[in-house]
Amino acid sequence: MSLITCIEDLRQLAQQRVPRMFYDYADSGSWTESTYRANCSDFERIKFRQRVAVNLENRSLQSDMIGQPVSMPVALAPTGLTGMQHADGEILAARAAEQFGVPFTLSTMSICSIEDVAAHTSKPFWFQLYVMKDRSFIERLIERAKAARCSALVLTLDLQVLGQRHKDLRNGLSAPPKLTVANLLNMAGKPRWCLGMLGTKRRYFGNIVGHAGSVSDMSSLAAWTSQQFDLTLSWKDVEWIKQRWGGKLILKGIMDAEDARLAAASGADALIVSNHGGRQLDGAPSSIAALPAIVDAVGGHIEVHMDGGVRSGQDVLRALALGAQGVYIGRPFLYGLGAMGEQGVTRCLEIIRNELDLTMAFCGLRDVRQVDRKILLGDDRGAP
């Protein structure tokens, strides 16, 4: 594919180049995938007001997220196993985001470690944290993030239990991949991916293996992980982490106005309206549908961000119009990474920026900080 014009082009190319188990891991939801699909389809129902005969010179997408200047109000979301979409994937994505002037968020369940990413970037990135029973491990993760100069901690609250993802079960997902006959045959058709993986030493969960007390290799990791997600997670734990961290804190996984009010009361700097990309509670509303009520409930007290279903710069603009101050992209940059490595992530960001800029202009605005519900038609000023 010589001409990449949209995120869908990157998706198709990634599907060709990434082994099935890792492509499916990125591009799937839980159970029937109804929430996963709604995350995208609900955006399509939100219509813009086109305006004409207004001055469109000197347009600007510059903004800030939690006080950090950004070239556009977009961040790369934390995604697990990013380094299995492409060799050294987290490093490549972080470098692309840094060059573009948008935040990169490293997942706890990354392949490249905090230290790996810090060694290959010059500016601070964000780190995403899961709450696990082993509090000493959490304390060490937080200290490692501080040592790496991470400028924000993104605390994910919606993974106390794991949603059932049928494709992962069928594919026998693992990192590195299980060498079954089916997986070997599939990988044989992905020579770019295989060559990349042969050329890197980073094939495991770099933040965990060798750092968690009882985890020295992949065989011990699975047993440790299955026992570690904390079913007793509470707002007291959020306060404990806030105190241990001491820096900018973002709470991810908020889908209810009451939880949003609790997030605002916790003293966090921002919350992310997110249903984990439709990978946890199937049958939940889309993130964009949940956004307006949460903005109305707490928008004046805490910065509101969102993720889930964003596939274009137009989707970014829709979310901004409904009150989000920052929008995260996960699958789009993973498609770019799987398709073309670092260049693909850069191309993803270029596409998002161009679509955001042009659509804002068609709506008659020159500054992204002026975007509000007035650019949407009638009923679209609320939830889809």
Does 67 appear as a known binding residue? Answer: no
**C-alpha to C-alpha distance for 214 and 208, rounded to whole angstroms:** 10
- List the catalytic residue out of 166, 211, 276, 305: 276
Letter for the amino acid at 9?
Answer: D
**C-alpha to C-alpha distance for 21 and 23, rounded to whole angstroms:** 6
Does 279 appear as a known binding residue? Answer: yes
Letter for the amino acid at 347?
Answer: R
Does 323 appear as a known binding residue? Answer: no
Handedness of CA 333, 339, 342, 346 (dihedral sign): negative
Does 25 appear as a known binding residue? Answer: yes
Does 216 appear as a known binding residue? Answer: no
Does 278 appear as a known binding residue? Answer: no
Does 300 appear as a known binding residue? Answer: no
Query: Is 276 among the residues known to form the active site?
Result: yes
Does 225 appear as a known binding residue? Answer: no
Helix ranges (H only) for the chain are 7-17, 20-26, 34-44, 89-100, 114-119, 135-147, 166-171, 181-188, 191-198, 218-228, 235-245, 257-265, 287-298, 313-321, 331-362
**C-alpha to C-alpha distance for 13 and 220, rounded to whole angstroms:** 34
Does 330 appear as a known binding residue? Answer: yes
Residue 129 phi/psi, 5-degree rounding, is -120, 135
Does 299 appear as a known binding residue? Answer: no
Residue 5 phi/psi, 5-degree rounding, is -110, -15
Are 247 and 281 in contact by the 8 Å Cβ rule? The answer is no
Letter for the amino acid at 16?
Answer: Q
Does 201 appear as a known binding residue? Answer: no
Residue 229, helix vs strand vs coil: strand
**C-alpha to C-alpha distance for 318 and 287, rounded to whole angstroms:** 12
Does 192 appear as a known binding residue? Answer: no
**C-alpha to C-alpha distance for 383 and 88, rounded to whole angstroms:** 39
Extract the annotated binding site for glyoxylate: 25, 165, 276, 279
Q: Which amino acids are annotated as binding site, given as ranges?
A: 25, 78-80, 107, 128, 130, 156, 165, 252, 274, 276, 279, 307-311, 330-331
- Give catalytic residue positions: 276
List, as residue ranges, the binding site for FMN: 78-80, 107, 128, 130, 156, 252, 274, 307-311, 330-331
